[in-house]
A and B are shown apart, each in its own frame.
Chain A
Amino acid sequence: MPQNLVLSFEEKTSMKLAELFASYGYKKYKMSKFEEYDLYIENKSFLKSENVIAFNDPTGKLLALKPDVTLSIAKNTADNETEPRKLFYSENVYRVSGNMHEFKEIPQLGLEYIGEVDTYSLCEVLIVAKQSLAIISDSYVLDISHMGLLIGLLEYAGLSYEVRDEITTLIGTKNSHEIRRVLSSRGVDTDLTEKIVTLSTLYGSIDKIIPLAEKLIVNETTRAAVEELKTVCNILKISGQADNINIDFSVVSDISYYNGITFRGYIEKVPGSILSGGRYDNLLKKLGKNSGAVGFAVYMDLLSYLDRDNGRYDADVLLIYNENTSAEKVFEAAAELREKGERVFASTTECKNIKYKRLVKIGEGI
């Protein structure tokens, strides 16, 4: 019997993603729903929203419902990890989101690679991210960026932290007119300003963008960033994985946690990014761990945009019988239909609150 009768699109996708992660050697990591509140206070800018549901445990200690999984995994890493750890998780996180700014339970599936991040491991994570998107829909894009370019250009411009944050946000919204306004008010020269503006507008395939990105090199940080991006993109191309991948430097994340490659995945018809990840050595450093890390998460709640038709029918067949039909006959008829993989609802009346594809009547006098 086909087993996909009851599983929702989200559940099916989540199974396929877990299988994909496992096939690359990632091990499932089950976590507690709660975490010490302090962790989020110390790292609040890592979180997308600062609101956390906090409560006291029986001993009076302040706990929080997890707003994020990566922080907990990073926290539980040994200070001097010698061997790489590959973990995946499927957890609910609790965040404020949406137009009404209310707490929501958001199912998240993701993976983390913790250890020395070499070129292979980095490309592997990118390819798994790409394959995850392909599992969800045929119409997807994975956008890759390198934080080093932004960090290097802002360093070179010698801007204060406040202005750096402002520019980072503006790059995230491809807002070139405001970038020009802010930078000119800070006395940044036109050449450098235009480089930062270009960073926000560049978008396209690897072949189109890499040569243009080379023109943005101003110092060692930016040079190293472009070199790493080139290496990674080359490997993706050679392994035949460059399709549906674009380079987009407006994919920005918090500079104090993320360094190196960052990426986001988009699916047609789903507003906002459904997948988000990157290299976060800086977070581990902040937590006192001597290790590198890269990972991503898939926001499963957004799948609802693709799943409009699911659940439209409660049953495939509404099987109507009456008092002239023996119970065995009804069992037999229903079993026959189920054998063909159909969902059968047997009833003596044509129920109005059941949505069904077709009606089958058995017995005399119906």
Chain B
Amino acid sequence: MSKMINIALPKGRLGEKVYNLFEKLGYGCPAILENSRKLVFEDEENNVRYFWVKPSDVAIYVETGVADVGVVGKDILLEQNPDVYELLDLGFGKCRMAIAGKKGEHLPTDRTVKVATKFPNIAKKYFASKSREIDIIKLNGSIELAPILGMSDVIVDIVETGTTLKENDLDVYEDIVNISARFIANKTGFRFKTQEIELMKSKIEKEIAK
């Protein structure tokens, strides 16, 4: 008998897209579509259980093994560096991690750079690889405000279309890394539900190759 797979999905647009993909592949759970405030949904027929969690928490749910698999942005994986398997690049939810600042200016080279970001580890690692010293200002939202108000020289943040930057008179200075959604698995879960997880992986792989 196949074992039940526990899946952690990020709340929001990305999670809904992933759910639609999984449903198409035979991992449907109709209860999830009912508009309710529930966070756990189970489907005995397809042997799946879904959790809706905050996008930045998906990796933690998978790392601790509460969820066997999950879908999470590469940005979160780079920032948190969780001990999980990164089985697939789903190829959607694409964006990039970039350094941005006021339009017409550039990254200061003659002093310590003040960097405002939600991703301190990514920023630290990138600037260290360039042998630059930085001061990190950790923010939790509206990062674009920091350079406008002069709180920081630059920001390190996710850029999707660039519209937010443009509207705030900011510009991308450098790209750090490309981001997309990844299918991850718990290292212990993979060993005790090998067949189920490998089957799911190969189904997704085939579907996204189309």
Interface residues of A (CB under 8 A from B): 99, 139, 141, 143, 173-178, 203-204, 246, 250, 266-273
Contact = CB atoms under 8 A, between A and B. Distances in A.
Interface string B166-190: 0000000000000000000011101
The 9 closest A-B pairs by CB, nearest first: A271-B65, A177-B89, A175-B86, A174-B85, A268-B192, A141-B191, A266-B191, A173-B86, A266-B188
9 contacts: A178-B86, A178-B89, A250-B85, A266-B192, A270-B65, A271-B64, A272-B83, A272-B187, A273-B187
Given A268-B188, A271-B187, A272-B188, A174 B87 contact: yes
Given A175-B86, A178-B89, A271-B187, 5 more contacts: A139-B192, A141-B192, A175-B85, A204-B194, A266-B192
Nearest to A170: B86
A143 B191 contact: yes
B200 interface: no
Contact of A271 (B63, B85, B88, B198): B63
Interface in B112-127: none
A99 B188 contact: no
Contacts, number: 48
A10 B89 CA distance: 40
Nearest to B186: A271
B188 A174 contact: no
A173 B84 contact: yes
A269 B64 CA distance: 9
Given A174-B85, A204-B194, A99 B60 contact: yes
Given A203-B194, A271-B63, A271-B65, A177 B88 contact: yes
Contacts of B89: 177-178
Contacts of A177: 86, 88-89
Interface string B80-104: 0001111111000000000000000
Contacts of B188: 266-272
B205 to A, nearest CB: 10
Contacts of B194: 203-204
B65 A246 contact: no
Contacts of B87: 174-176
Contacts of B63: 271
Most buried by A among B60, B63, B188: B188
A141 to B, nearest CB: 5
Contacts of A203: 190, 194, 198
A174 B185 CA distance: 10
B192 A173 contact: no
Contacts of B186: 271
Max chain B C-beta neighbours (<10 A), residue from A99, A175, A270? A175
A176 B205 CA distance: 12
A282 B84 CA distance: 28
A141 B194 CA distance: 12
Nearest to A175: B86
Nearest to B88: A177
A273 B65 CA distance: 12
Nearest to B192: A268
A139 B87 CA distance: 24
A266 B83 CA distance: 14
Nearest to A177: B89
A246 B198 CA distance: 15
Contacts of A268: 188, 192
Contacts of B192: 139, 141, 266, 268
Contacts of B60: 99
A250 B63 CA distance: 17
Interface in B63-84: 63-65, 83-84
A212 to B, nearest CB: 14
Contacts of A273: 187
A99 B191 CA distance: 23
Nearest to B85: A174
Nearest to A139: B192
Contacts of A204: 194
A45 to B, nearest CB: 17
Contacts of B191: 141, 143, 246, 266
A101 to B, nearest CB: 11
A173 B85 contact: yes
Nearest to B83: A272
B183 to A, nearest CB: 10
A266 B88 contact: no
A175 B89 CA distance: 9
**Residue among A178, A246, A272, A273 with the highest chain B CB neighbour number at 10 A:** A272
Contacts of B86: 173-175, 177-178
Contacts of A271: 63-65, 83, 186-188
A280 B7 CA distance: 38
A338 B210 CA distance: 70
A305 B83 CA distance: 17
Contacts of B88: 177
